[in-house]
Chains A and B, each alone.
Chain A
């Protein structure tokens, strides 16, 4: 039996008078789950619900058996926001040392996290002057704790292909320890690298399965085509 690390039920979120999530239900188990969909489809809002940063109108979210955002979860859930939430005017090592102290983890974790994102040669560089460094440092911060759930909002945007491949390998290594890694992206070709895919559109999940299952069920050659066919099918049915 697969245990769900995340259980969301009938989640409704209204932002600025607009129903961003009109009642979404979702389970996430261990492994790398890709959350894909166009910009503005509610990916970020959904992820903010899971880390307890989003005010929710109705519905429930349980993470690791507790309501999302509860005190005990703060060291067990790692979160990378869409904006690179690190300090531009500090070095890589200083950023990580600060967050390590807030999390109460050993300084030794700093070196491991820096190495994991391939920044060990740049650890004394100021983040703002490190091109493409911001999102990697931000990701390293999420790796500091011993997170059982990693919520990563578009962590690979703007990175070069080699680095993206390395990071996806890293996500799988983390997932292999029994953690759930939820990665959002609007780049469809990244989808193929997930164990499980959730395709999202207008606040709803329109497909859920392994990349292969989704391709086969739609008869499309790749996930991007599958997504387009699903959208066309929906519009045709209206």
Chain B
């Protein structure tokens, strides 16, 4: 591993995103717009519902968006030959993976800062814990999405297939993360499955932050999300082969 190369990869990924104005605008504006729709929907019905569902949504954005963006961009690296070329150069696999994680983590930090600012500042989301910790959870979440995206790109040969991993791997996590039905109230089997899905811990962390000033459990949840991310990165590294059949 070499910090110069890691930063080169991160800088290049960020430059590519910056050049793509439409993607950049969607990355930053869509979460704010969706969270506003959520607030509006519950406004007349029961405003406390926004405090219940808002945090879950804040946990989901960075995960889903970074998963999608990463799986498509790394698939493109694999199919365009840039990855093959990079692997014949003095580039460590970790440089590649961490470069991506770093770039998308940074992007997620900006994205979440905006979404949190809108939620807390404009829409009145009541956060008991420290607001900055929401950002930490979001970045951990984004790195998880990036790591999973990198991993699945190894199992797709077209961008179409890569996108199909979203309903296959991401939507089950959204259903079982405890947003619709509290996890304790689920049938035992589903609760057990929910316990081994990383998004559950990300949503728990966000909900914990909103509900209480105690941060011990939140850090525990962040640690679980980080472990999942590291495991996915390690598996992702195993799919980057200098020699291919």
Contacts and interface: CB of A to CB of B under 8 A. Distances in A.
Interface stretch (B14-22, B125-133, B215-223): B14-22
B20 A89 contact: yes
B203 to A, nearest CB: 34
Contact of B243 (A53, A77, A82, A83): A53
B143 to A, nearest CB: 22
A90 B11 CA distance: 12
B245 A102 contact: no
Contacts of A88: 80
Interface in A180-215: none
19 contacts: A53-B242, A53-B243, A53-B244, A55-B243, A69-B242, A74-B88, A74-B89, A77-B88, A79-B85, A85-B84, A85-B85, A89-B19, A90-B15, A98-B8, A98-B12, A102-B86, A103-B89, A104-B90, A126-B19
Nearest to B86: A102
Interface in A93-142: 94, 98-99, 101-104, 126, 141
B94 interface: no
A102 B90 contact: yes
Interface string B65-96: 00000000000000111101111111100000
The CB with the most chain B CB atoms within 10 A, among A56, A98, A103, is that of A98
A54 to B, nearest CB: 6
Interface of A: 15, 51-56, 69, 71, 74-75, 77, 79, 81-90, 94, 98-99, 101-104, 126, 141
A101 B85 contact: no
Which one of A15, A102, A103 has the highest number of Cβ atoms from chain B below 10 Å of its Cβ? A102
A86 B20 CA distance: 16
A87 B84 contact: no
Interface of B: 4-5, 8-9, 11-12, 15-16, 19-20, 79-82, 84-91, 242-245
Contacts, number: 78
A85 B245 contact: no
B153 to A, nearest CB: 16
A90 B16 contact: yes
B19 A85 contact: no
Given A74-B88, A85-B81, 16 more contacts: A52-B243, A53-B84, A53-B242, A54-B243, A55-B245, A74-B90, A75-B90, A79-B88, A81-B85, A83-B80, A88-B80, A102-B5, A103-B90, A104-B4, A104-B90, A141-B85
Contacts of B11: 98
Contacts of A52: 88, 242-243
A85 B79 CA distance: 9
Contacts of B88: 51-53, 69, 74, 77, 79
A85 B77 CA distance: 8
Contact of B5 (A86, A94, A101, A126): A101
Contacts of B15: 90, 94
Contact of A84 (B9, B19, B81, B86): B81
Contacts of B81: 81-85
Contacts of A74: 88-90
B175 to A, nearest CB: 35
A124 to B, nearest CB: 12
A74 B88 CA distance: 6
A90 B19 CA distance: 8
Contacts of B245: 15, 55
Contacts of A85: 80-82, 84-85
